[in-house]
Amino acid sequence: MIEVGKKYNERNLRYMRQFYEIFSSIKWNPLGSKLSRSHFRELLTVKNIDAIMYYIDICEKKNLTRRQLQERIKTQEYDRLSEETKNKLITKEQLKVNDLIPNPIIIQTNELNEELSEYALKQLILNNLDDFLNQLGTKFTYVGNEYKIKVGNTYNYIDLLLYNIKYKCYIVIELKVTELKKEHTGQIMTYMNYIDKNIKTFEENNTVGIIICKQDNEYVIKYCSDERIIAREYELV
């Protein structure tokens, strides 16, 4: 130990061996070199090599700190992605704006209230807006909440309106504290069509709709006529 120095103690040697066993098969590129030693220490807690590559990628794209990476691993962000998205990541297929949105979406709160209202759910999201936007993926920006639109002679209010810079499209989000119902897709479809016809420009892509609900119903989305609409459950932590 004296000959090689204190940094080569038993604990560090164990980490080095573990690092080699996990990363020796990876074809390295400049991306991985941007991570610090502490980042890799966190990655050693992940056993799935595809998950590790996912976390390395988001660390580079979002310039995550070790603590931010630790939180994403702790909430099992990769595991909450759909199998279709995981396959796209492996095959490097082009992703859509909604592919990286996990299910469920984690909502931070100090009080786990089963009788949460839609207003209270929205306030929890707004109180932790940066965390919420980061969960949705890359390049999401906030436009407004209770965004007022006029459909005929009636005013309607979109719970949350976002914009994705990378995909050049608006994102309509509706919050539901119940199980997903077929009338929810009709409501959000109306809002999306309004944005497309009255707000988006010719250069921008069609609006995407996300229904965040307490409980998903796969058949509602399965038989929805608009493929731009997706549903995600929320989980209070």
Residue-wise pLDDT for 48-74, tens only, equals 889 999 999 999 888 899 999 999 999
* Both structure tokens of 44: 């050693």
148 pLDDT more than 90:
yes
Whole-angstrom CA distances from 205 to 2, 85, 137, 192 are 63, 21, 17, 12
Instruction: Label residue 105 by pLDDT band (50, 70, 90).
Output: very high
Per-residue pLDDT band at 77 (split at 50, 70, 90): very high
CA–CA distance, 229 with 172 (Å, rounded to integer): 9
| Band of pLDDT at residue 167, cut at 50, 70 and 90 | very high
Residue 178 phi, psi (nearest 5): -125, -175
Write down the pLDDT at residue 20.
61
Pick the CATH number of 96-236 from 1.20.1250.10, 3.40.1350.10, 1.10.3470.10, 3.40.50.2000: 3.40.1350.10
What's the CA gap between 163 and 144, in Å, rounded? 10
* Confidence bin at 1 (pLDDT 50/70/90): very low
- Cα-Cα-Cα-Cα dihedral sign, residues 7, 9, 13, 14: negative
Amino acid at 198: N
Integer Cα distance of 226 and 186 in angstroms = 10
Specify the length of the chain in residues: 237
Rounded to whole angstroms, the Cα distance separating 121 from 102 reads 18
Q: Give pLDDT tens digits for 24-47.
A: 666 655 545 578 888 988 998 898
Cα separation of the two ends of the chain: 45
pTM of the model: 0.85
**Structural domain spans, the chain:** 6-74, 96-236
Sequence-separated (6 or more) residues with CB below 8 Å from residue 204: 168, 169, 170
- For β-strands 154-164 and 169-179, DSSP reports them as antiparallel
For 92, left (φ over 0), alpha (ψ -120 to 50), or beta? left
Q: 124, 126, 127: which is closest to 112 by C-alpha?
A: 124
